[in-house]
Structure 1
């Protein structure tokens, strides 16, 4: 496999684990704090953490490289996705919201084909479809499960795909940490404006601790996601978002006692099969390219 794709896959998998941990923590906090307040507090903590990392790493000296239109546009996509997704998440089961959001690779692959001219074989399309079928089997959506908040979550999924597409448009000279910091700062700024229209509530120590943990997870996830989308092919790395569903299942069991039924386990098997199939497809393509070069 292409080393860049391998790194992209590993970083995407780690990013999804951190994202799901963040989702679980903020969902717990949403029972006691308003949406705007918790997004602002988490965003402020995340921004301060990232700013400290940027200062320590020395990349702050390259701040002028981030003065390109693609950086704030990407941050705006991410901010809108954050607001819409978290609003939906607070009114949907974690598994449902996670599964809907994992449809992003379908949109992402479409963007890659239409806008970047990437070639995706019928077999790889089938594997992506297989993974999505696995998601549906795990979630087992019913008519009462897909309401207005589910549609809002679909909109967030499209925005997430747009953010990932814009990541590839950011010049390689812009350090990933600066991209991540700009995103966290945009979320904090916009949510801060939102709090002016909402009522603040006293923050219990447990909620502050949970939001601090969420901020750490989010900072790591932001950075790893940016690195993954810049490292590998979008149509190869994107489907590994499905790994986040496994983390969601584990946290759902630990926090809420949710246990998958037989159909859900079949869905998990399909997700694993789709991931392994994608890896095999990439290896076969790389071998074919190498054989062609040697002829």
Structure 2
């Protein structure tokens, strides 16, 4: 007799709330970064986000003990965190120099780069449907960027570089998650980001004024809290089911940017974001379906143990 095949359950309400909370927290972090940029350089903001984020992550040590830091893949963590630091610095640069909604919309191109990286690095087979989604997604990116427009900004290319490197980091998480628990990944990554982000900050160092410190502290608290909610949500439900909720960040950022900075979402950003989000959602759903089919095939022929 074949072993029973599990059917994916409905999205747990708690997982949905955690993912919605994560998207909201990351959106608010973008706003804190913009306020901090009134004085501080993006390189410094990235360092302080990492520093205060690490402080807010330290309670995980109390929960798990020092053993949570032990890993056989420290070298891999260093490479991953170095790439993540570059992605963060580029992303913060984009948040400071672009309209917030446009910067966030371009960050949603990360799944497109993940698909390409999965083929080049992981050797995954991607068929025509997913390639079509990738092409559609990059068309959406072109709509957002509008490289021939008079107001084209080179900061959009920095935002795309951040998304591309973030795709590499996402692929690295697939490796780490095979052996390391989520809290170890979050804690080690957060701690390693601090020294790795410091050299760039020192090149433009200026001590913040008193009114800037709250925004720097808040960026670290919001970033770490967002990652905490994100990792917990992914433990409870499939990434493809949670993906639509992650795009709440675009709405949160758009609303806050309008209220606080008098920024509006232009039609090109809205149309391009819709295309990129649609393509990313299709890729996520397709990957989930392929994974379930693979598990189904792997489960066939396995006999039940004797009674």
- Residues 86-115 of structure 1: CA distance to partner in whole angstroms, max 9, x if unpaired? 123222221222222221111101112333
Q: 1:200 to 1:4 in 2, by over 3 A?
A: farther
Provide the residue aligned with 2:187 in structure 1: 181
Quick check: 1:99–1:136 contact (8 Å CA) kept in 2?
A: no
TM-score relative to the length of structure 2: 0.74
Seen in structure 2, the aligned counterparts of structure 1 residues 169 and 288 have a Cα distance that, compared at 3 Å, is closer
Correspondence for 1:51: 58
- Contact 2:61/2:68, CA 8 A, preserved across alignment: no
Q: Give how far 1:217 is off.
A: 1.5
Alignment check: 8 A CA contact 1:104 1:160 kept: yes
Flag the structure with higher helix content: 1
Q: Which residue of 1 aligns with 2:44?
A: 37
Q: Distance in 2 between matches of 1:5 and 1:65?
A: 34
Return the offset for 1:195: 4.0
After the TM superposition, which of the residue ranges 17-26 and 133-142 deviates more from structure 2?
133-142
Give the TM-score taking structure 1 as reference length: 0.76
Unaligned segments of structure 2, at least 5 residues: 1-5, 302-307
What is the DSSP-based 3-state SS (H/G/I as helix, E as strand, rest coil) of the residue aligned with 2:119? helix
- Alpha-carbon deviation of 1:67? 4.8
Give 1:29 deviation, angstroms.
Answer: 0.8
CA-to-partner distance for each residue in 1:66-93, whole Å, 9 max, x for gaps? Answer: 6532222221111111112212322222
The correspondence for 2:224, drawn from 193, 204, 219, is 219
Deviations 1:172-192 (A, max 9, x none): 342322222222223321333
Task: Sort the Cα spacing of 1:234 and 1:287 in 2 relative to 1 into closer, same or farther, 3 A.
Answer: closer
**Which has the larger Rg?**
2
RMSD of aligned residue pairs (Cα, Å): 4.1
Change (3 A) 1:119 1:85: same
- Which stretch has the larger CA shift, 267-276 or 96-105? 267-276
Aligned to 1:91: 97
Name the count of aligned residue pairs.
292
Gaps of at least 5 residues in structure 1 are none
CA contact (8 A) 1:70 1:169 kept: no
1:1-295 equivalences in 2 (<5 Å)? 3=8, 14-52=21-59, 54-65=60-71, 67-130=73-136, 133=139, 143-170=149-176, 172-205=178-211, 207-225=212-230, 242-260=247-265, 266=271, 270=275
Question: Counterparts of 1:151 and 1:266 in 2: how far apart (Å)?
Answer: 19
2:82–2:196 Cα contact (<8 Å) kept: no
Preserved CA contact (<8 Å) 1:109 1:234: no
Shift of 1:199: 3.7
CA 63–105 in structure 1, closer or farther in 2 if over 3 Å, else same: same
Query: Distance between the aligned counterparts of 1:3 and 1:189, measured in 2?
Result: 41
Cα 1:59–1:92, aligned 2, differ >3 Å: closer, same or farther?
Answer: same
Alpha-carbon distance in 2 for matches of 1:162, 1:105: 10
